[in-house]
Amino acid sequence: MSTEASTMERKGTVSAKSNMQQRYPLIILGIALLTVPFWLPLLGGYTDLASRVLIFALAAMGLNLLLGFTGGLSFGHAAYFGLGSYGTGLMLANYTHSTLLSILVGTVVGGVAATLLGPIAVRRRGIYFSMITIAIGQMFYFIAVRWNSFTGGEDGLTGFSRQPIHLPGYTIDLHSTNYYYLVLICFAGGAWLLWTILNSPLGHLFVAIRENQKRLTFLGIRVDLYIAISFAISGFVVALAGSLDALLDNFTSPDNLRYTLSGNLLIICVLGGMRNFWGPLVGAFIFVLVQDYVSSITQNWMTVIGLIFILSVIFFPLGVMGFFRKRSRA
């Protein structure tokens, strides 16, 4: 009995140490994100750049739920990013002065669209699934371009700006630093939601679908239903990111609905690592920083992004996070 007790105690100690080792990077990441406005300017950056990294990371993490963990390659998730962006902008421009309500409405608009359109896309597999998603995305793009009186057409939607948040006895002015912390709170909430889902039985089922759809179908599981659920959750998270993006620049345009943005989100996922939870954050960091720096030098910044993407696929097929994870196991 004493031997068994000591063995169990050792196992418990090892497990506790392992949990702490897994938490250390997360704690460091949290401290780094919380202190960004203090150390980033010392490196020549600015707070809005950090906000953009988190916004694109959140959008890529939402897409990665479908792409990396469920196995569905979507080229049309810019539609839900753009719908979130337009929903928030139109609310502030025409209906309300509440920033939080506008973000909520934008998120719901994009998320509901994904919920309704997802079952249509999941009727097909492989390249046909991808083609349906890109067709849906382009449909919303052309609606935004043509509906000048409502969306501003090709010139984009203006006439709105983020408004102070009024709390009982206190008002928060959303200047650059405060808005970063609002984005950080939304990012943390979205990451927590995705982490909780992926570590639940539903998340394990998503991964099982990615690994072997046919086997699950033979077991009597409605694979289409669960892919549609993943599609819907992904759409809500991407729409939240789109809502935050509209408020970052106080502007939105049909470019936020275009397939090129969907391609950028895919590049971010691949760069960071599709099958790693924090991969999209690393990919967004690389993508946004390269875009910001290279675009200040030349208009052909996408050429540099394309070259980085090609080199990543050749030398880091698992993404940056996948590469370091593989090295740590070796």
Is 50 a domain residue? Answer: no
Rounded to whole angstroms, how far apart are CA atoms 258 and 144? 10
The Cα-based distances of 153 to 77, 85, 143, 262 in angstroms read 20, 14, 9, 20
Domain-ending residue, one of 223, 257, 291: 257
Block residue for tokens 């991808």? 130
59 alpha-carbon distance from chain centroid: 2
pLDDT tens, 302-315?
888 888 888 888 88
Same domain for 117 and 188: yes
- Of the pLDDT bands very low, low, confident and very high (cuts 50, 70, 90), residue 14 is very low
Same domain for 155 and 272: no
Give ∠ CA 237-278-22 in degrees, rounded to 5. Answer: 130
Is the pLDDT at 26 greater than 90? The verdict is no
Do residues 144 and 137 touch, judged by C-beta distance below 8 A?
Answer: no
Domain-ending residue, one of 228, 257, 286: 257
Do residues 209 and 71 touch, judged by C-beta distance below 8 A?
Answer: yes
What's the number of domains the chain is made of? 2
- Of the pLDDT bands very low, low, confident and very high (cuts 50, 70, 90), residue 6 is low
Is 28 a domain residue? Answer: no
pLDDT at residue number 1: 46
Count other C-beta atoms under 10 Å from residue 9's C-beta.
Answer: 10
Select from 52, 62, 57, 84 the least CA-distant residue to 243. Answer: 84
**Pairing of β 170-172 and β 165-167:** antiparallel
Same domain for 265 and 227: no
Do residues 222 and 59 touch, judged by C-beta distance below 8 A?
Answer: no
Residues 6+ apart with CB under 8 A from 228: 115, 118, 119, 122
Same domain for 300 and 194: no
Same domain for 158 and 262: no
Same domain for 309 and 227: no
Same domain for 146 and 115: yes
pLDDT at residue number 119: 93
Is 49 a domain residue? Answer: no
Is 280 a domain residue? Answer: yes
Between 12 and 248, where is the model more confident? 248
Same domain for 293 and 145: no
Same domain for 291 and 171: no
Is 27 a domain residue? Answer: no
- Conformational region of residue 125, where left means phi above 0, alpha means psi within -120 to 50, and beta covers everything else: beta
Domain-ending residue, one of 240, 257, 274: 257
Is 83 a domain residue? Answer: yes
Is the pLDDT at 87 greater than 70? The verdict is yes
pLDDT tens, 165-177?
988 888 999 999 9
Do residues 102 and 244 touch, judged by C-beta distance below 8 A?
Answer: no
pLDDT tens, 268-303?
999 999 989 999 999 999 999 999 988 888 888 888
Rounded to whole angstroms, how far apart are CA atoms 120 and 132? 8
Structural domain of 272: 258-330
Is 96 a domain residue? Answer: yes
In the chain, alpha helices (H): 2-34, 36-39, 47-67, 78-90, 99-121, 126-146, 148-151, 176-198, 201-211, 213-218, 223-249, 259-272, 279-295, 301-315, 319-329
Q: Tell me the pLDDT of the chain averaged across its residues.
A: 89
Is 314 a domain residue? Answer: yes
Same domain for 314 and 253: no
3-state secondary structure of 168: coil
Rounded to whole angstroms, how far apart are CA atoms 272 and 283? 4
Same domain for 135 and 217: yes
Same domain for 278 and 157: no
Percentage of the chain beyond pLDDT 70 is 92
Mean pLDDT of 211-217: 90
